[in-house]
Structure 1
Amino acid sequence: MSTDTHNDPSATPELPGRAAYTQFADRYAQIVPEKPHNALYERPATAALLGDVSGLDVLDAGCGPGIVSAELAHRGARVKSFDVTPAMVELARERCASLNVEIAQGDLGQPLAWLGDAQFDRIVCSLALDYVERLAPTFAEFHRVARPGAQLVFSMAHPMRDWIDTRTRGKRTYFETTRFGLHWGGFGEPKPYVEAYRRPLADIVNALRETGWQIDAMVEPKPVPEMKAVAPALYTELSLAPAFICIRARRD
């Protein structure tokens, strides 16, 4: 496992992801492996789009505490990962210490200068792009480091789900990108204040198209059946309308 640091985010202290997760990195790392929203909803949908990764080179972009990185390594992938939050990087290093995972510190909103061209067969970005204001430069960097035929799989908050919440949209129209903040429940006290960006679906799709990616699957996930026993109210809610979208795109 490497311990390199790249694109030092200390020069941009207002990055929403770094500011948010610094508040509660330890709590997040302890709770999210079993949290129904993640373990029984988003991660299964993302993993299904990724498919078999055995023997592949995979980039885990915005890896958080290394949960997905560890899963990928256990499934036989060679993994490189990075995150913008120093505390998350350290937690990921601890989680992946004995695995075939290299972890760095880096910012999704900046060039991935430490990564060479055409290195990866798969790129996964799980619930991290909501903290990036402009997606096209990030997708362009993903395209650069991907091999021909490689796949990009990512999940994000569902644009319409966030639009329905007046706290999220404020007074702006659906068609604008909005930076908003909420206090998150489910992670103990004090409740962390998390800022992110909400954007229209067309901005996500067009940013992919403009940077050379071809969409070949889009999923509005439903909860796995096991959630019904663990979190029945959440199961009912997510069975009626999705909270996230998961997209798979291919580099021609």
Structure 2
Amino acid sequence: MSSEKPTPSADPNELPGRTNYTQFADRYAQRVPEKPHNALYERPATAALLGEVAGLSVLDAGCGPGILSAKLARAGARVHGFDVTPAMIALAREHCAGLPVEAVLGDLGRPLDWLADCTFERIVCSLALDYVEALEPVFAEFHRVAKPGAQLVFSMAHPMRDWIDTRTRGERSYFETTRFGLHWGGFGEPKPYIEAFRRPLADIVNGLSAAGWVLDRLVEPRPAPEMKAVAPALHTELELAPAFLCIRARRA
């Protein structure tokens, strides 16, 4: 991430997801499969929580360019993915061509009304919930479309990590939900301006339970050992403090 001074959102009433990735969808899809933060940190932790998916119906919520959808399908899952960014859906369909993956437009911030009740045995949401202000309605929709006994696995920015960074917390209390924006490095020029929400840990966990989910496991990931060779400074940083949070919950 860059230390450049953020620029204000064009429309503060619009949720940031679509605007964020429309700017650089192609660059994101090219870079993120090997980007250490993803390939050697968040993605392995999320995959470990998901476990075996062969023969299961999986919802990939906020699927982006379909990297995880393709991986799940190759592992034997039937995948339905959705994303709010049209360019990402086009990339996901291309990336998942020939695999049992359906990719459609959909918004995490709205009801998932095209999906039937009790449809999925696994729901995964990788680094997408940071772009939604209120989590409980999203968790409630995930609960509705999940089969009894289903598991939900999601990853987010770590609330304390974002709190330590004064650019993300601003002048707000830790206990408030804060909307912030930063220019991201690592994806070429022009640097995309990305907006997200920072919230306290209690809001995440309590939102889960209020929607009917039972917390099963909470992981503060450690970097994969291979990161030490390709990104030593990042490896050292992530061994000191986590950047993300990964959670698994189950539907009773």
Mapped contact 1:135–1:204 kept (Cα < 8 A): yes
1:187-226 matched pairs, under 5 angstroms: 187-226=187-226
Deviations 1:171-219 (A, max 9, x none): 0000000000000000000000000000000000000000100001000
Q: Using a 3 Å threshold, how does the CA distance of structure 1 residues 94 and 185 change in structure 2: closer, same or farther? A: same
Is 1:239 the counterpart of 2:239? The answer is yes
- Look up the SS of the partner of 1:45 in the other structure: helix
Deviations 1:211-231 (A, max 9, x none): 100001000000000100010
Runs of 4+ more than 3 Å apart = none
Q: Distance in 2 between matches of 1:13 and 1:80?
A: 29
Amino acid at match of 1:29: A
1:97 Cα deviation (Å)?
1.1
Is 1:117 the counterpart of 2:117? The answer is yes
Show structure 1 runs of 5+ residues with no match: 1-11
Deviations 1:126-158 (A, max 9, x none): 000000000000000000000000000000000
Q: Using a 3 Å threshold, how does the CA distance of structure 1 residues 78 and 223 change in structure 2: closer, same or farther? A: same
Q: Which residue of 2 aligns with 1:65?
A: 65
Deviations 1:17-51 (A, max 9, x none): 11010000000000000000000000000000000
Amino acid at match of 1:75: A
Mapped contact 1:127–1:157 kept (Cα < 8 A): yes
- Look up the SS of the partner of 2:82 in the other structure: strand
Over the aligned positions, Cα root-mean-square deviation in angstroms equals 0.9
Q: Which residue of 2 aligns with 1:36?
A: 36
Q: Distance in 1 between matches of 2:104 and 2:114?
A: 9
Q: Which residue of 2 aligns with 1:97?
A: 97
Amino acid at match of 1:244: F
**When the two structures are superposed, what TM-score results if normalisation uses the length of structure 2?**
0.95
1:1-252 matched pairs, under 5 angstroms: 14-252=14-252
Show structure 2 runs of 5+ residues with no match: 1-11
- Look up the SS of the partner of 1:185 in the other structure: coil
- Look up the SS of the partner of 2:186 in the other structure: coil
- Look up the SS of the partner of 2:147 in the other structure: strand
**When the two structures are superposed, what TM-score results if normalisation uses the length of structure 1?**
0.95
